[in-house]
């Protein structure tokens, strides 16, 4: 499983949202992020570490739920 790790910078906080600057190659991309989802004590200029990976177990469960729903719809049954 591959993991993407990056460090974002809190550019500014505007009400309920923080503007995070995320690295994107040679540039940075601004992303609005809910302040409630940031660690306590974060302020402008703070650095935040992100680790991103696929949740393959949850993907498989979601595919199964959709397949079950489609089966029920095509069979005309309801539960």
Here the tokens at position 13 are: 């906080």
- pTM comes to 0.72
Tell me the pLDDT tens digit for each residue of 7-60: 999 999 999 999 999 999 999 999 999 999 999 999 999 999 999 999 999 999
Number of domains in the chain: 1
What are the strands, taking DSSP E only, across 1-65?
Answer: 4-14, 17-24, 27-34, 47-52
Residue 77 has pLDDT above 70, yes or no: no
Higher pLDDT, 19 or 74: 19
Q: How far apart, in whole angstroms, are the C-alpha atoms of residue 44 and residue 15? A: 13
How many Cβ atoms are within 10 Å of 21's Cβ, its own excluded?
16
Here the tokens at position 70 are: 């489609």
Residue 79 has pLDDT above 70, yes or no: no
Higher pLDDT, 79 or 16: 16
What range does the domain containing 46 cover?
4-75
CATH number of the domain enclosing 62: 2.40.50
């Amino acid at each position: 499983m591959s993991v993407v790790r990056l460090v974002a910078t809190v550019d500014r906080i505007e009400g309920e949202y923080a503007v995070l600057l995320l690295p994107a190659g040679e540039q940075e991309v601004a992303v609005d992020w809910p302040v409630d989802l940031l660690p306590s004590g974060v302020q402008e200029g703070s650095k935040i570490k992100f680790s991103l990976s696929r949740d393959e177990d949850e993907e498989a469960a979601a595919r199964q739920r959709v397949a079950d729903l489609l089966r029920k719809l095509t069979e005309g049954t309801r539960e």
